[in-house]
Amino acid sequence: MKQTDQKSGAWQFRKEHRKGVFFVLVVICLLGTMTFVGMSVDLGMITVTKTRMQSAADAAALAAAQEIVVAVRNAKLNSANVLDVNVVQAAAVADTGAMAEYVASINGFYIDPATDVTLGRRILASDGVSYTDTWGTGPFNCVKVVIRKDNSDAAAPDAKLPLIFAAVLGERDKTLTASATAFIESRDIVCTLDYSASMNDDSCMSSATISRLTKAAVESNLDAIWNALVASDVRFSNDTATKKFPSAGLGLINSAVGTSNSSNTSQTVIEALGLYTPAKNYYDSWSLNTSGDDYYAKTSGSYDYRRYTQGTYNGQLRRKLSSGSTWSTVAETTAPGYFPPVAESAIPFPQEGKNTSTGLRLGKPSIATSKSRWLAYVDYVRTNSSLSSQGYNKKYGYRTLCVYLMESRTSNSQSEDLWRAPCYPFHGMKLGMETFCQFMNDLSYGDHIGLVDYATSARIETGLNEDGADVTVNLGTSDLMSTRYQDINTIQFHKQAGHYTSTTATGDGILKATDLINSNGRYGAHKVILLMTDGIPNVYPSGFSLPSSWNWNTLLDYNKDGIADYTTSDVSSQYALYQAKLAADQEIKIHTLCVGAGADTALLKAIAKISGGMDVVVPAGTSVTAQTLLLQEAFGILAGQVPPPRLVVTQE
């Protein structure tokens, strides 16, 4: 029994001893588990806080960059009709920090705008992939926001993140930082401009133009056109001593209102105006003999006269007594009714025209060519109903000559100097484009621009090398879209309404603009077409019709009621819409600009809607001056349509 009792006691002792060991192990395991759980909790807090900080930084950067977008989009012309980028940037700088601070605060975080918000420039390179970042240098299109929790003062708004369990390991708090950069994308913009002949309409005398602008306003503009041509002091290419538009006028075309002549015979009119003088000789009224040697014959007084034009006596005047038979040569001054011969002459028509094959100017028009062109001018003034309705029928002066050039000799190959004159609304568009190019230059956001124009067809402008222009530009093949803003401006400023042809192929303009973006645009750029017109499309490819998949209700339902807000049966307009849809499918946005009473504003709005673009309408104004200011402002607005900011993807 004792042995048994002794064994039982030993066993009991060992059993109790083991209970103590397990308790220690449990405590150790529990501490390890609690530490692991605590670290997991702390790590979770860090992760959640870091995520919230990053989201807040992203939101703050985007909101701050949006202030730059708003400032640019709200830019206005100053007193000098210039979009002042310095004012725009000053407004943006003043607002970006405050906006970043506000957005961070509503997300529960603190930033100091003075140290945590940095402005800079981010420019897309020509390769369309890489960027150049410059901090602290404007014009600014980039904002970096940093949110920090690194302050050792636990009561500070940017205090380090306190830890719950990691403190047992000696780490009581954690420094956290999050940053985000937002920027305004560089754009690839194709300016697609209407070069049809109707872009002269506001300077001509149609009843619609007169009723809208008033007769006095149109007359004033015509005077400005003439004065501009005179002031250009342009000379004939092969006769630099002769002015095309002399200040004293051209014969009796020597006043604005003009010289009246009631004749219905154009030949009589050009002679009376001194524009053409036929050759005259004293024997023109004599009878012509063609039997034998040719001569002109006349009997006067007691003498018979013969003026020979060939044979032995060619060029001589001979006479005899009518009763006699002996002829003798006498001086021409003895001829009855003699007057000094007058050679054929004409005042040179003031435009040379160009060889349509070579593009070279034809030189000062010959007498025959000038006569033909003056006859055409007189025919126009005699028969044009618009001139007649405004009291200019058979009035030959500066105003009717300018109208004739704009209406009947529109193209640059016919009137090589009309680009020098303020013909409207074309000239207003040119000034608007000048504002656009200058704003692009001053903005310096790395935007690339190109130029497409359209009339009967569209073309991508590659430079300026026209005979008669005062400068040349060569964009080559690599700079068809580039930052050569002033070169683009130079090209467009040397154009005129109807420069190439006369009609309006809006759809082909969009097509060529899309082609230019696809061939010369950058991969990472925001792609835009700026489409301008004053009229209605009237050209489309033979055989075109909308595809069977075309759905008006889907594409042009502005108010989302399931019914299209715009439809058209006009095939030219349908083709323009079709090309706009193809551009939109390639993520190309189209902003549209309508000007004047003849523009199809509904179509242009539809084109903009299809791509998500902006449509701007410049109404038919009461003066060309007002219209010019509106066009400049409109081009400025479109230049300022920078895209919404986007975040830079970082590897932090």
DSSP assignment string, 182-219: EEPPPEEEEEEEE-SGGGGGGGS--HHHHHHH-HHHHH
Identify the CATH number of the domain in which residue 512 sits: 3.40.50.410
Q: State residue 1's pLDDT score.
A: 45
- Look at the alpha carbons of 144, 145, 149, 153 in this order and tell me if their dihedral is positive or negative: positive
In this prediction, residue 652 carries a pLDDT of 47
In this structure, are 315 and 454 located in the same domain?
no
Nearest 5°: CA angle at 169, between 163 and 172?
A: 30
- Strand 287-289 to strand 526-533: parallel, antiparallel, or no bridges (unpaired)? unpaired
- 21/167 same-domain check: yes
Strands (E), 81-237: 117-124, 131-135, 142-149, 161-162, 173-174, 176-183, 187-194, 235-236
Nearest Cα residue to 527 out of 477, 458, 481, 485: 481
Give 316's contacts (C-beta < 8 A, 6+ positions apart).
307, 308, 329
CA distances from 488 to 234, 424, 453, 551, 609 (A): 24, 20, 12, 38, 28
* Banded model confidence at residue 20, pLDDT cuts 50, 70, 90: low
Percent of the chain past pLDDT 90, that is, above it, reads 78
Identify the DSSP state of 469: B
pTM, whole model, 2 decimals? 0.86
Q: Are residues 406 and 428 in the same domain?
A: no
Alpha-carbon gap, residue 32 to 27, rounded angstroms: 9
> Which of 349, 330, 332 has the alpha carbon at shortest distance from 340?
332
506 domain residue, yes or no: yes
3-state DSSP assignment of residue 77: strand
Identify whether residues 391 and 408 lie together within a single domain.
yes
Cβ atoms of residues 467 and 234 within 8 Å: no
Are 286 and 274 members of one domain?
A: no
Report the alpha-carbon distance of residue 507 to residue 145 in Å, rounded.
44
- Spatial distance between the Cα atoms of 487 and 483, rounded to a whole number of angstroms: 9
- CA torsion through residues 453, 458, 461, 467, sign: negative
**Of 364, 398, 416, which residue constitutes the final position of a domain?**
416
Residue whose tokens read 């044009």: 384
Residues pairing with 298 in the sheet? 305
Do residues 223 and 209 make contact, with C-beta atoms less than 8 angstroms apart? no
What is the DSSP secondary-structure string of 379-434? HHHHH-HHHHHTT-TTEESHHHHHHHHHHHS-STTT-TTGGGS--TTHHHHHHHHH
Domain span holding position 309: 282-334
Q: Is residue 37 part of a domain?
A: yes
- Same domain? 315 vs 461: no
- Domain co-membership, 391 together with 434: no
d(CA 599, CA 618): 10
The amino acid at residue 21 is: V
Boundary residue ending a domain (141, 159, 183): 183
Mean pLDDT computed over 13-35: 55
Instruction: Report the C-alpha gap between 457 and 403 in whole angstroms.
Output: 25
CA distances from 576 to 96, 345, 525 (A): 41, 51, 24
Spell out the alpha helix ranges (H) of 563-641.
Answer: 571-585, 601-611, 624-639
- Residue 246: is the preceding peptide bond cis (ω within 30°)? no
Task: Tell me, yes or no, whether 108 lies in a domain.
Answer: yes
Q: Which of 13-17, 418-422, 469-473 has the lowest mean pLDDT?
A: 13-17
In a domain, 220, yes or no: no
* Cβ proximity of 181 and 143 under 8 Å: yes
Say whether the peptide bond before residue 162 is cis (omega within 30 degrees of 0). no
Q: Which two tokens stand for residue 52?
A: 């919230």
Domain boundary among 375, 392, 416: 416
pLDDT one-digit tens code per residue, 179-225: 999 999 999 999 999 999 999 999 999 998 999 899 999 999 999 99
Closest-CA residue to 210 (of 514, 597, 537): 597
In angstroms, what CA-CA distances link 567 with 551, 564, 606? Answer: 10, 7, 9
Domain count, the chain: 4
160 and 40 housed in the same domain: yes
Contacts by 325-333 with C-beta closer than 8 Å and gap 24+? 332/282, 332/307
Predicted confidence (pLDDT) per residue in 366-418, tens digit: 999 999 999 999 999 999 999 999 999 999 999 999 999 999 999 999 999 99
Please check whether residue 1 lies inside any domain of the structure: no
Mean pLDDT of 105-126: 94
Stronger pLDDT, 624 or 616, i.e. the higher one: 616
Question: How far apart, in whole angstroms, are the C-alpha atoms of residue 36 and residue 169?
Answer: 12
DSSP-derived secondary structure for 470-496: S--EE-TTT-SSBS-HHHHHHHHHT--
Residues 618 and 543 in one domain: yes
* pLDDT tens readout for residues 307-338: 999 999 999 999 999 999 999 999 999 999 89
Helix 485-493 vs helix 426-443: crossing angle, to nearest 10: 170
Q: Which residues contact 298 (CB under 8 A, 6 or more apart)?
A: 283, 285, 286, 287, 304, 305, 335, 336
Size of the chain, expressed as the number of residues it contains: 652
List pLDDT tens digits, range 161-181. 888 765 555 567 889 999 999
Q: Residue 215 falls within a domain, yes or no?
A: no
Here the contacts of 598-601 (C-beta below 8 Å, separation 24 or greater) are 598/198, 598/201, 598/208, 598/534, 598/535, 598/536, 599/533, 599/534, 599/535, 599/536, 600/533, 600/535, 600/536, 600/537, 600/573
Cα 311 to Cα 288, 291, 465, 539: the distances in Å are 15, 12, 54, 63
pLDDT beyond 60 at 116: yes
Which residues make Cβ contacts (< 8 Å) with residue 361, sequence separation at least 6? 237, 352, 353, 354, 355, 416, 467, 468
- On whether both 407 and 452 belong to a single domain, the answer is no
Specify whether 408 is located in the same domain as 523.
no
Indicate whether 366 and 396 sit together in one domain: yes
d(CA 525, CA 125): 10
* pLDDT tens track for 286-315: 999 988 889 999 999 999 999 999 999 999
pLDDT-based confidence at residue 18 (cuts at 50, 70, 90): low
Q: Residue 5: pLDDT above 90?
A: no
Considering the domain boundaries, does residue 596 fall inside one? Answer: yes
Q: Are 567 and 556 in contact (CB under 8 A)?
A: yes
Six-digit token string for 424: 């409207």
Specify which residues 119 forms β-bridges with: 143
Q: Which ranges constitute the DSSP H helices of 295-397?
A: 367-383, 385-389
Highest mean pLDDT among 30-39, 72-81, 566-575: 566-575
Residue 223 lies in a domain: no
Phi and psi at 167, nearest 5°, equal: -60, -30
